[in-house]
Amino acid sequence: MKYIPFFGCMMTTKYPWFEAAVRKTTAVIGMELVDIEGFTCCPDPIYFQAYDKIDWYTIAARNIALAEAVGHDIITTCSGCTATLSEVNLTLKKDMELKDKVNKRLKKIGMKYNGTINVRHAVTVVRDDIGFDRVAETVTRPLNHLKVGVHYGCHLLKPSHVMNVDDPDHPTILDRFIEATGAKPIHHEKTLLCCGRACMTDSISSNMVVDILESIKANNADCMGLICPTCFDEFDTGQIILGRKLKRNFSVPVIYSFQLLGLAQGMTLEEVGLNMHKVKFDKILEAVPA
Amino acid sequence: MSVENIQKINFEFREKLNSVAEGFRHNFCYQCGACVGDCPANNYSGTFNPRIILLKALLGMEKDLISPDSEIWNCTNCYTCWERCPQDVRPIDVIIALKNLCQRLGQAPDIIHKISNSVMESGITTTVTSATVRRREQYNLPPVRDYAVDEIKKIIGSK
């Protein structure tokens, strides 16, 4: 099946190895990614939405309209892009007045939003279109001894009746994704806690990050597994910065879901970019068969 | 206590809030507090409280809400309050409407301008560096494309 990938700003510029992992692993499980020209920032659901919601709807609608013209669904690989593009798409599909308002603006550049495609996070597509059984069949190196502390992040799941992905209080999608790689998903007390990135006061988000990392350690997970490059930023680089500030060594490596799948499909540490992470992953992989 | 000393509701502010996308939702809040219990910013700050923010909106307490230091900027944007609200007020959407109002009134913190300017001037929120170009080559990824800034400029900002 064909999909138009929307990798977003953070992954494209800062964490390109995540993009590489998505491209390589989705090809193996039978998803065909069709790249198109002209995407911009989704735009950012926190700061840009806070700037002007109608501008936010309009730029997002332009991105969706580009994909509509080609005729395949968009897959997102960042929770922020998912928040913006899914919410805007589903809102505009229902709110005709808003759709007209947005289309009046898009007309200036000769474009139109029609509401003919869907926007879904890549893990949702993997679950619903491919199936985790099929994913498991592509695993050549099951990560049997790896315990992955699950971090869902907020925007894949909520608002649930907009996203329609999973139960926001008892989600299973990421657990099942991790299980398909042979690894063991570990739920912990802070599995569903926000990474805190959007908070203006640093101490609030720092305390959330510390609690999440401690919760993962307390439940004896080897690493943390997630689906969003912004959460990743908060927990990988953020963990180092916090560790220096608090004079503590958390040592919780962080892995993006498609990197995990890449390892399970036999790719090397370097191929999926795990060597690029600030919190090193090497020791954990000693437990994984070569 | 004389009647003159009673604080009056600032309906003018509420009208302003109604004029911003999703701002009208504040009118339907009946102050049940369902939004508070699972709010991470509330749990971690002790001061951020979506119910109180909605109450201040209902009373029209503009000074408290519309400023770069307002409590509204501590919202984590997690959408849990939207999940919990039995009235479909979507407290987060009211908070975003308040943020939009801050921006219109010149009261948004610098980061809002920094990020929105980046989107409007370069099409993205991050920067394409030499490391970006080099790493994309290293991972055999297609080069970064043009970000259609001209088109963005044409479709934003009109009323």
A33-86 confidence digits (pLDDT tens): 999 999 999 999 999 999 999 999 999 999 999 999 999 999 999 999 999 999
Mean per-residue pLDDT for A1-9?
Answer: 97
Phi/psi at A269 (nearest 5 deg)? Answer: -50, -45
SS3 (DSSP) at A29:
coil
Burial class (CB in 10 A: 0-12, 13-18, 19+), B77: buried
Give the separation between CA B11 and CA B61, rounded to whole angstroms: 10
Q: State the pLDDT confidence band at B158, using cuts at 50, 70 and 90.
A: low
**Nearest by CB to B139, which of A20, A48, A54?**
A20
Q: Is residue A131 included in any domain, yes or no?
A: no
Complex prediction ipTM: 0.95
Mean per-residue pLDDT of chain B: 95
pLDDT at B159 over 80: no
Q: Is residue A53 included in any domain, yes or no?
A: yes
CATH (domain of A35): 1.20.1050.140
| Chain A residues 36-75 with CB within 8 Å of chain B | 37-41, 43-55, 57-59, 62
Summarised one tens digit per residue, pLDDT across range B43-96 is 999 899 999 999 999 999 999 999 999 999 999 999 999 999 999 999 999 999
Amino acid at A56: W
The answer for residues whose C-beta is within 8 angstroms of residue A159's C-beta and 6 or more apart is A87, B79, B82, B83, B90
Q: Which residue of B has its CA nearest to A211?
A: B44
Domain extent at residue A146: 140-285
Mean per-residue pLDDT of chain A: 95
E strands within A35-113?
74-76
Give the separation between CA A83 and CA A70, rounded to whole angstroms: 22
pLDDT at A289 over 70: no
Give exposure, B96-128, as e/b (b: 16+ Cβ within 10 Å). Answer: bbbbbbbbeeebbbeebeebbebbbebbbbbeb
**Nearest by CB to A40, which of B82, B97, B124?**
B124
Give the separation between CA A26 and CA A20, rounded to whole angstroms: 10
| Chain A residues 160-189 with CB within 8 Å of chain B | 160, 168-169
Q: Check CB contact of A155 with chain B, cutoff 8 Å.
A: yes
User: Contact A50/B99, CB-based, under 8 Å?
Assistant: yes
Q: Is residue A134 included in any domain, yes or no?
A: no
Q: At which of A122, A151, A178 does a domain end?
A: A122
Closest-CA residue to A267 (of A148, A15, A275):
A275
How close does chain A come to B3, measured CA to CA in Å? 38
Q: Is residue A128 included in any domain, yes or no?
A: no
Q: Is residue A132 included in any domain, yes or no?
A: no
Residues A187, A53 within the same domain: no
Give the separation between CA A12 and CA B128, rounded to whole angstroms: 9
Summarised one tens digit per residue, pLDDT across range A134-193 is 999 999 999 998 999 999 999 999 999 889 999 999 999 999 999 999 999 999 999 999
Amino acid at A52: D
SS3 (DSSP) at B136:
helix
CATH (domain of A246): 3.40.50.11810
- Residues of chain B neighbouring A208 (CB-CB closer than 8 A): 40, 44, 76
Q: Is residue A261 included in any domain, yes or no?
A: yes
Residues A151, A276 within the same domain: yes
Give the separation between CA A49 and CA B123, rounded to whole angstroms: 15
Amino acid at A260: L
Does the bond joining A43 to the residue before it have cis omega, within 30 degrees of 0? Answer: yes
Q: State the pLDDT confidence band at A287, using cuts at 50, 70 and 90.
A: low
Residues A106, A144 within the same domain: no
Quickly count: other Cβ atoms within 10 Å of residue A249's Cβ: 11
Closest-CA residue to B33 (of B14, B54, B60, B51):
B51
The answer for residues whose C-beta is within 8 angstroms of residue B3's C-beta and 6 or more apart is none
Give the separation between CA A121 and CA A139, rounded to whole angstroms: 21
Closest-CA residue to B76 (of A88, A231, A61, A118):
A231
How close does chain A come to B105, measured CA to CA in Å? 11
Q: Looking at residue B150, what is its pLDDT?
A: 94
Mean per-residue pLDDT for B104-123?
Answer: 96
Mean per-residue pLDDT for B105-124?
Answer: 96
Residues A117, A147 within the same domain: no
Mean per-residue pLDDT for B24-41?
Answer: 98
Q: Which domains does chain B have, with CATH numbers?
A: 8-104 (1.10.1060.10), 110-155 (no CATH)
SS3 (DSSP) at A9:
helix
Q: Do residues B36 and B105 lie in contact, with contact meaning Cβ atoms separated by under 8 Å? A: no
Residues A95, A171 within the same domain: no
User: Contact B145/A37, CB-based, under 8 Å?
Assistant: yes
Give the separation between CA A132 and CA A112, rounded to whole angstroms: 36
Q: Looking at residue B145, what is its pLDDT?
A: 83
SS3 (DSSP) at A17:
helix
How many structural domains are present in chain A?
A: 2
Q: Do residues B36 and B91 lie in contact, with contact meaning Cβ atoms separated by under 8 Å? A: no
Residues A235, A157 within the same domain: yes
**Nearest by CB to A154, which of B79, B102, B144?**
B79
Q: Looking at residue A283, what is its pLDDT?
A: 73
Question: C-alpha A43: how far from its chain's center?
Answer: 15
- Number of H helices and number of E strands within chain A? 15, 8
Quickly count: other Cβ atoms within 10 Å of residue B137's Cβ: 11
Q: Do residues B78 and B33 lie in contact, with contact meaning Cβ atoms separated by under 8 Å? A: no
Q: Check CB contact of A97 with chain B, cutoff 8 Å.
A: no
User: Contact B146/A193, CB-based, under 8 Å?
Assistant: no
Give the separation between CA B98 and CA B25, rounded to whole angstroms: 11
User: Contact B116/A58, CB-based, under 8 Å?
Assistant: no
Q: Looking at residue A201, what is its pLDDT?
A: 93
Summarised one tens digit per residue, pLDDT across range A236-272 is 999 999 999 999 999 999 999 999 999 999 999 999 9
